[in-house]
Chain A
Amino acid sequence: MCDPLAEVSETVLLRRARDGDTRAFDELITRNRERVYMQAFMIIRNEEDACDLCQEAFVKAWRSLHRFDGKFSFAGWMRKIVSNAAIDLCRARARRPQVGLGGGELRPDAASRTTPSGGEVPGAGADREMFRARIAAAFEALSPEHRQVIVLKEIEDLSYREIAKEAGCSTGTVMSRLFYARKKLQALLSNLKDER
């Protein structure tokens, strides 16, 4: 039997949800949960936490539905909620040592170089999967704010202005964060390569 809500537009679902229709909201969750989970995971880097964040984000969205003005898509609104919730969780957590591949500890201090690492193209001639694993390991060593801008720019393909709106800061701050996030990522990748 097909779900009658599956064909209903997002606008109608939102209106019904605002009126207290939990079934309509359930359908909105179904349509957006994969994406919200992915966005949470990208920043939090933990499957279980990402699921918890996903759940919390939807509960928060339900409580704040009256504030959703429809200027953005529901997906965009959820991205903002979950991305900020992920950053809050990262901040709240006690810092733990970041361990890279092979048990070697990453050295974030190397990221303080004033220029992005140049020279050899990362990953050239290396096994692609290994390169991806190194990127993931280096990415985890970034601060949550740096992870957020990288994800929003490189994965979500948002403009500086859109990122600024989501992160609640100026476009100048976004560009500065991107600059240092990339530098740090490249420096960490370079360190991982050296340790192999």
Chain B
Amino acid sequence: MKDKSPSSWTRFLDSESGDTGAFPWESDPDARREWQAWQAIRAELSEALRPPPLEHGEFINARVMEVIGREDVRPAGSSGWVWRLALGLLSAAVVLSLVFVPDVLRPGGSSGFASQVIAVRAVHPHISVATFHLPDESGVVVWLEGAPYIPEGDQLR
């Protein structure tokens, strides 16, 4: 019994030749014996696996109804889709307004930059300093070049 691929052997056991025609091992006594062995199992499978009867099946109804009622879960029908779509659009609008509107409304915000240089001064000849306003006016960034720190005695103006 050679050339028994899983698919062809499965078809053989299920007596489904399909497009492949007869199986090459069909007349093989071992194959026939295995086929019969599986048929014997198959004949008993349904009874062998049969569950004990479902007693008080109405409890299942009651428990499902209880869960549905407790959670107030409603099937998301067409109205659910509309609500979700509306909520999604609203969320998108809020996000977009948070990103773009402050820039437009803020003086100088129309420059298109995330921050604006408001002063470039350096008292010390080797140090350059630039300061930036954060877009939401929550702080100022001081950008220092020429020194890792502001030397003692120097001042920022």
Contacts and interface: CB of A to CB of B under 8 A. Distances in A.
Contact of A135 (B11, B45, B59, B65): B45
A167 interface: no
B61 A54 contact: no
Contacts of A108: none
B142 to A, nearest CB: 55
A188 B42 CA distance: 15
B61 A175 contact: no
B153 interface: no
A17 interface: yes
B75 A20 contact: yes
Contact of A42 (B11, B33, B40, B49): B49
A117 B33 CA distance: 9
A151 B31 CA distance: 23
Given A37-B51, A51-B54, A124-B40, A65 B33 contact: no
B46 interface: yes
Contacts of B9: 116, 179
Contact of B41 (A34, A118, A123, A176): A123
Interface residues of A, number: 59
Specify the main secondary structure of chain A where it touches its partner.
Answer: helix
B74 A20 contact: yes
B51 A154 contact: no
A175 B74 contact: no
B139 to A, nearest CB: 47
A150 interface: yes
A6 interface: no
Scoring B46, B47, B61 by chain A CB atoms within 10 A of each residue's CB, the highest score goes to B61
Contacts of B10: 175-176, 178-179, 182
A115 B4 contact: yes
Given A154-B45, A182-B38, A185-B41, A115 B1 contact: yes
Contacts of A92: none
Given A17-B75, A33-B54, A119 B38 contact: no
B7 interface: yes
A186 B42 CA distance: 11
A38 B75 contact: no
30 contacts: A17-B75, A20-B75, A25-B68, A26-B64, A29-B64, A38-B51, A38-B54, A41-B52, A42-B51, A51-B59, A55-B63, A55-B67, A58-B64, A59-B64, A59-B73, A66-B80, A115-B34, A117-B34, A118-B33, A119-B33, A121-B33, A122-B40, A124-B40, A132-B44, A139-B45, A150-B45, A153-B14, A175-B7, A179-B7, A186-B41
Interface of A: 17-20, 22, 25-26, 29-30, 33-34, 37-38, 41-42, 47, 50-51, 54-55, 58-59, 62-66, 115-124, 128, 131-133, 135-136, 139, 150-151, 153-155, 172, 175-176, 178-180, 182, 185-186, 189
Interface of B: 1, 4, 6-7, 9-11, 13-14, 30, 33-34, 36-38, 40-42, 44-52, 54, 57-61, 63-65, 67-69, 73-78, 80-81
